[in-house]
Amino acid sequence: MVEVRGLTKRFGPVVAVEDLSLAVAEGEILALLGPSGCGKTTVLRIVAGLERPDAGRVLLAGRDATEWPPEKREVGLVFQSYALFPHLTVGANVAYGLRFRRGDRKRRVRELLDLVGLAGYERRKPHQLSAGQQQRVALARALAPEPRILLLDEPLSALDAALRKELRGELRALLKRIGMTALYVTHDQEEALALADRVAVMRDGRLEQVAPPAELYQRPRTPFAASFLGRANLWPGRVVSVDGDRAIVEVAGERIPAERGEALEGDEVLLFFRPEWVEVGEGPLAAEIESADYLGDRWELRARFRGRSLVVLTQEERRPAGSLRFSIRLARAVQHD
Amino acid sequence: MAGPPRQLTGRGAAGAALALLPLLFLGVAFFWPLWDVLRLGLQVDGRWTGERLLAALSDPYVRRLILFTVEQAALSALLSLGLGFPLGWFLTRYRFPGRGLLRAFTIVPFVLPSITVALGFVLFFGRSGHLNRLLMGLFGLGEPPIRVLYTLWAVVLAHAFYNAPVVARFVNSAWERADPTLVEAARALGAGRFRAFATVTLPLLLPTVLSALALVFVLCTLSFSIPLALGGARYATVEVGVYLYARGVVASFPRAAALALLTLGLSLALTYLHLWGGGTFSARQGGVRTAPTVPLLSRERPGRALWLLYLIPAAIVFLGPIGAVVADSFLHPAPGGAAPTLHWYRMIASPAWNPFIESSPLAAVRTSLLVGGGATGLALVLGLSVSAVLRRVRSRILETILMAPLAVSSVVVGLALLLAFRRSPLSALGGEWAIVLAHTLIVYPFVVRAIRPLWDALDPALPEAARTLGASPFAAFRTVTLPLLGSGVLAAGAFAFALSLGEMTAVAMLSGPGVMTMPMAIYHFLGSRDFGAASAMATVLMATTALAAWAWDRAGSRWLSRTGAPAGFRRLPDSAEPVERVASGFMPNHTAVRRLRKVVADRLRRYGEPIHSTTDPVPASAADKHRRTHG
């Protein structure tokens, strides 16, 4: 298990990470998700020992590793740029981490190249490989010394969209097959949801929420988490009554049922619902359509409901004008920041 | 991803230990000896006083030294410009067979040992030199028509020989960077060919010209072997004066130290001056495209043949002296004309004691190679560790301390070590070690200047990746950083070797019976009118140096020939241009200088050229300039 406690890191006046605590369980893939510049890479570099925290601790397998140099930590790091050694062959790159260890290196290199689907590429130089192949070599190199955790820094961001989708499935399958613990830094929410067991949303150096993908998508705890993980409607309103898990939120005079979350009666909250949670055609509510974008498999409508903007998805063709009747199938009260 | 500076976990102790090695070395081999010079020059009976300096300054001989130094340097700079500017123009504008070769030749003087040039001048321009013999034969003269040797003009002409190609290289590379669109715009606005040149091209080149002038002035002020060999005690520079007082017949160490302090002040002032005049300008971003070249020889423009009026005398001045050295090394003078012989080469391969050089010629060759090898090795280690320290600890004070030998002329380094080797702990080492240390001190700043831009351009993720894969900091350096810096380190080493081989100033101060190098042996052979032996040794020296310089240029230009950044580098390292890399070695980095540079930069803005900010704490060489525009 890998854990960080109370990490803080400043670069001059800029606070990159602030009082951040996080634990990755054995065999778990945890995605660290956030916009660029939110400090997620810094967390990764601190875990790898490439950056020293101003405060806080790094625990590897229960031992305080904060002061350990990178080479003693037994972590594998896959860089965004792959950082393959250009003067070494693929085989030598993969073997690099093994030269400081005992064992049959040749066999291990073959094993790993097999694992990432690059058997027979030992003698090539990195620049002779495609970007996707380079990415696989970087992965094999990081895995070769059997690290206790694999750290991945936007490993797919340099690839084109189609390859990225393909590889993220493969990557997850591979990590699960060998039972590798992984901390995966990305700014791509789709990637995080598809790949991780749990997703940690970061903003301005702090954690917003850590949860499994489905829970995070359906029950975000903050407006930032709600809007960072996909499209979200967030309407200011007030909780007028509470009944167990349920609550009634009043928005612009309409009373809309929602999941209560952590809201209490009388709270000013945001009514959160995803575009696909809106039932279009029939319903008690009416909005004015402002635009309709054709997305291929469906339409995205932007509308206005009593001064609030509304995004919905529907299968039916709509003209970008006129009125729209709708109901909200599922919604949730989210506390303001 | 842009962001805060990347840095491995800042282990203060490791950084301090790393800095300790070069500091310790510089302390023992440089600062302590320099302190001795200071004390000798400024202390009388343990009391600090300016007496010795004032006494030196009121000595008419010393005054003449100073005046002569400035006079010859100024004349040399102007003559170098006069000879070099047309060559730079010629190289930029015209296309002709052998252009590449001619360009490559412009690098030669920078590494050609100056004593071989002095020898060439004696052999070619001397009273009974080749030129006089040729002219006497052609015109049936009874008297040699050219008498420049042992005058001011011999020194100035030799300096111009040395530095005109440097000016040409500066002008050439600036001209190639100048955007031809500007000239086209001027022509389209109605300016004639000459007017466009005078109002557009010339102002664009002016900064470079100033820069080159300043550099040549500095180099000639600190020149040693040429005034020593061609001017003698009568036409001596301050540098030569230090030598004469320290090693001459009437040796006086205190007076030598006082003069050394004068030249130290002079060289410091000049380095600032050079920066003011040049550092800012030399490598500004150029235009989008380069001007096309035109063929030199074409039927439509027979007027271009007029270039021969410049080229033929230039070729005589440049090739004559070198040719004379090589020719005389294979000739045996005889009454009825010279006969080809290998006698001189057999002589310099002889292990027999020669009274003029107080050593055997073969031993001199061996000492040169050993000293060159030792100094190169030490300079590489020192240069790499200084680079490593300065990358880690970005402190101007530390940088000034670690690069301090750059601001001290070779003769002062020589005097300091001469004094230091007379007492412990250094007196325990042999005399060759004094020369090795001196050369290390003279050469390593160039190594730093050559390696740092490369190192800074290296992707920091590579050594980091090595660390996470289990490599210790040193293992990561050895297996990843060093191989990737490879050709840069090789180039720096070759250059260091060439520089050490040809260096004579420090050697003159430090050589003695049994401790003799090739340049110093040439000087002694020259003094004993033993021209054949001098020529043979000079030919060997030139060949060895040229080989090292070639290796240096090759390894260095590997960076130039690529279009993008080489694998492992985030961008193309700047200043692969060897001359500028050398030139950049003369530019230290101080706040005052930076302030001056800003003033100059402001003044230059009216030329409409972008000048990049100089707030970066990294050294301010012409070369580093491009880098600033990248992140």
Domains in chain B: ranges and CATH: 72-287 (1.10.3720.10)
Tokens of residue A270, six digits = 């945001």
Shortest CA distance from B474: residue in chain A:
A71
Choose from A50, A81, A135, A146 for mutation: most chain B CBs within 10 A: A50
Point out the residue among B3, B459, B467 whose CB comes nearest to the CB of A70.
Answer: B467
The answer to whether the CB of B620 falls within 8 A of the CB of B279 is: yes
Q: Does A102 touch chain B (CB under 8 A)?
A: no
Q: Collect all residues of chain A within an 8 Å Cβ-Cβ radius of residue B469.
A: 71, 76, 96-97, 100, 141-142, 145
Q: Indicate if the pLDDT at residue B132 is higher than 90.
A: no
Residue B276 has pLDDT above 70, yes or no: no
- Alpha-carbon gap, residue A48 to A69, rounded angstroms: 9
Q: What residues of B are in contact with residue A101 (Cβ under 8 Å)?
A: 470
Instruction: State what percent of residues in chain B have pLDDT above 90.
Output: 7
Q: Which domains are delineated in chain A? A: 2-226 (3.40.50.300), 231-335 (no CATH)
* Cross-chain residue pair A71–B5, CB shorter than 8 Å: no
Q: Hey, is the C-beta of B464 within 8 angstroms of any chain A C-beta?
A: yes
Q: Tell me: the pLDDT tens digits for B208-267?
A: 788 788 778 878 888 888 888 888 777 888 888 888 888 877 778 888 888 888 888 877
Identity of the amino acid at B44: V
Per-residue pLDDT, averaged over B525-534, amounts to 86
pLDDT number for residue A239: 93
Q: What is the pLDDT of residues B159-206, one digit of tens each?
A: 888 888 888 888 887 777 777 777 777 777 877 778 878 787 787 788
Q: Is pLDDT at B576 greater than 50 in this prediction?
A: no
- Looking at every residue in chain B, the average pLDDT score rounds to 76
- B469 contacts A142? CB cut-off 8 A: yes
Residue-wise pLDDT for B477-524, tens only, equals 888 888 888 777 887 888 888 888 888 888 888 887 778 888 988 988
Smallest CA–CA separation between A245 and chain B, in Å?
A: 43
Give the number of A-B residue pairs with CB atoms closer than 8 Å.
96
A232 touches chain B (CB under 8 A): no
The lowest-confidence range among A212-216, B277-281, B354-358 is B277-281
Cα separation values, B506 from A329, B72, B189, B520, B546, Å: 90, 22, 56, 10, 21
Asked whether this complex has an ipTM greater than 0.95, the answer is no
pLDDT for B185: 78
B331 beta partners: B340
In a 13 Å sphere around the CA of B390, the CA atoms on its Cβ side amount to: 28
Q: What's the pLDDT band for B611 if we cut at 50, 70, 90?
A: very low
- Residue B355, pLDDT > 50, answer yes
For residues B120 and B248, the answer to whether their CB atoms sit within 8 Å is no
Q: What's residue B320's pLDDT?
A: 86
pLDDT in tens, B556-565: 555 444 434 5
Query: Quick check: B616 pLDDT over 70?
Result: no
Model pTM? 0.77
Mean pLDDT of chain A: 90
- Cβ contacts (< 8 Å) between B459 and chain A: which residues? 81, 83
B227 CA: distance to closest CA in chain A (Å): 48
Q: Is B613 on the interface with A (CB under 8 A)?
A: no
Give the separation between CA B158 and CA B121, rounded to whole angstroms.
7
Q: Which residues of A195-204 are buried (b: 16+ CB within 10 A; e: fewer)?
A: bbbbbbbbbe
What's the pLDDT at B581?
A: 38
Question: Which chain B residue lies closest to A154 (C-alpha atoms)?
Answer: B1
Omega within 30 of 0 (cis) for the link into B425: yes
Residue numbers of chain A with a pLDDT score lower than 70: 100-102
Residues in B touching A73 (Cβ below 8 Å): 468
pLDDT for B136: 83
Q: Do A77 and B9 touch (CB under 8 A)?
A: no
Q: Cα(B186)–Cα(A125) distance, rounded to whole angstroms?
A: 51
Euclidean distance between the first and the last CA atom of chain A, given in angstroms as a whole number: 31
